[in-house]
Structure 1
């Protein structure tokens, strides 16, 4: 006969407080946001995001410096146009960091490990998407905020209410005050409109970048694929707009063609719904054009979340 022995190996059940779904979602969000900027990773992972962040700040700093010397409000870069002016740098950040967020777990087949714990598939996707949106928004909003703060510091005389003559300028001072066109209130409204545009840029670009990166598990291919989609879409739209305007004289087609380029798409929303000045080559006329562009943006975001959900759910079962 053989005898059996029970050994006490000191195993103890967890008796602490269970933090729940919100804590898991927040932890995933913070982890992916840190990864987007290379925090908690080797030094070489920090080079590209911080270098691109510094490049994004340079035009804003230069614009504020010129404003300080020239004292002319027109030299300040418009808040709504900053993302389009720096779209190449933003596209590089999108291409280099989207694979970090979307494809690392797929490449190392670690997705099932996440779902072996009480982590919802949708929570997993929303944490990644939210973190990448935040990272892109930071890249865009920090220079825009620098422009705003620099404008307040360097030209305070341009933002004070002034007394207008009551008699149309004969030298007698009236009691009514008017605010200059570039007053503090007007300037602040443009700033918040620029931030709204930055958020919409972040949502649309993150949606496109993460979907592409999620289907290319090799980081090099992911970078190339995102850049290729950006370049091809922008080039085709520019060609169509050039043909429509120069040869056919059809500015309506030229405006609607902008819906197929992510940067032009968001600029249409800024121009038609947020009152910004046009930076893209053309835009559809009227509020309806802005509503259609906004609907396309929302459809891109919702569709990307659905595709990412399906992609990671399938990877979690394999």
Structure 2
């Protein structure tokens, strides 16, 4: 007598395959460039909390306001008193508020990269037509652009105010351009350093603390050493010491090559030749930051 196998299909099986709507995509393939632009725009919006919760918008918008309010006050005073010159040069303004800029970098650099590391979504990016270089370029450019907006907006307020106060158009335009070059270099440098530090750990809190520590401690240590050198009549060492902190590095560039006043002790800034060294170091650190990020994400994407 034959025994029916328990897994055998019973006679008259009514099993059917239903079409539930899945179909292949036959539209245009937008490729890597589109993916890179999309990642850049989303990261830039995220740097100001746009497209995110209200809570995420509070800190970046507050810091943006803190950057712009002093400029608006200076403009109001200049217009009322009919001043012939702004109290602070365009290239020095951002450096006077470098603590605010450091706090912004510390809050937004980990937000840009630490979350992807923590939730292990980086390999998902690379499963699409996007490579390590595309991811790094988009994140780097987004944070640098956000910093440029943060530091460039108050300069625009100063420039418009100077024209309203009927200051010299040619002179103000020249100084405004020099100020934009200063904040562009600052944005690239701070963005690179912040992203490299934040990419080391998936913990956002650790990233914030590490970025604040590196930017503030280095500035404090360099400023202290410069003050000691100035007190010991070693003015020649002051410019070289300034190479070891991001803020003093930008200060040296703007004072030596962009017509700004030096914030170093005794007002001893780098000479023209030393200023070229400052530019090379600034560009070198920025390029090294990009290289370290690329190396980091080649490992993460495996």
TM-score in same-fold range (> 0.5): yes
Partner of 2:272: 287
Alpha carbons 1:32, 1:132 under 8 Å: kept: yes
Choose from 243, 249, 259 the match for 2:243.
259
State the secondary structure of the residue aligned to 2:301. Answer: helix
Alpha carbons 1:256, 1:284 under 8 Å: kept: no
Partner of 1:134: 145
Name which of structure 1's ranges 73-82 and 219-228 shifts more when overlaid on structure 2: 73-82
**1:228 and 2:217 aligned:** no
Aligned length: 290
Which whole-Å CA distance do the structure 1 matches of 2:277 and 2:99 have between them? 25
Deviations 1:198-239 (A, max 9, x none): 100100100111111111221111111111111210111112
**1:39 and 2:50 aligned:** yes
RMSD: 1.7
Which whole-Å CA distance do the structure 2 matches of 1:92 and 1:286 have between them? 30
Alpha carbons 2:152, 2:180 under 8 Å: kept: yes
Deviation for aligned residue 1:261: 1.3
Alpha carbons 1:268, 1:283 under 8 Å: kept: no
* Aligned pairs (5 A) from 1:232-243: 232-243=217-228
Q: Say if 1:42 and 1:285 are closer, same or farther in 2 by CA, change over 3 A.
A: closer
Deviation for aligned residue 1:75: 4.4
Deviations 1:126-154 (A, max 9, x none): 0000000000000000000000001101x
Partner of 1:107: 118
Q: Say if 1:185 and 1:265 are closer, same or farther in 2 by CA, change over 3 A.
A: same
Which consecutive unaligned segments of at least 5 residues does structure 1 have? 159-182
Which whole-Å CA distance do the structure 1 matches of 2:107 and 2:25 have between them? 40
Deviation for aligned residue 1:5: 7.0
TM-score in terms of structure 2 length: 0.91
Deviation for aligned residue 1:74: 3.8
State the secondary structure of the residue aligned to 1:17. Answer: coil
Which whole-Å CA distance do the structure 1 matches of 2:269 and 2:71 have between them? 29
**1:121 and 2:132 aligned:** yes
Which whole-Å CA distance do the structure 2 matches of 1:126 and 1:227 have between them? 23
Deviation for aligned residue 1:245: 1.1
Deviation for aligned residue 1:291: 1.1
Which whole-Å CA distance do the structure 2 matches of 1:298 and 1:255 have between them? 17
Which whole-Å CA distance do the structure 1 matches of 2:201 and 2:94 have between them? 26
* Aligned pairs (5 A) from 1:45-56: 45-56=56-67
Deviation for aligned residue 1:277: 2.4
TM-score in terms of structure 1 length: 0.87
Partner of 2:99: 88
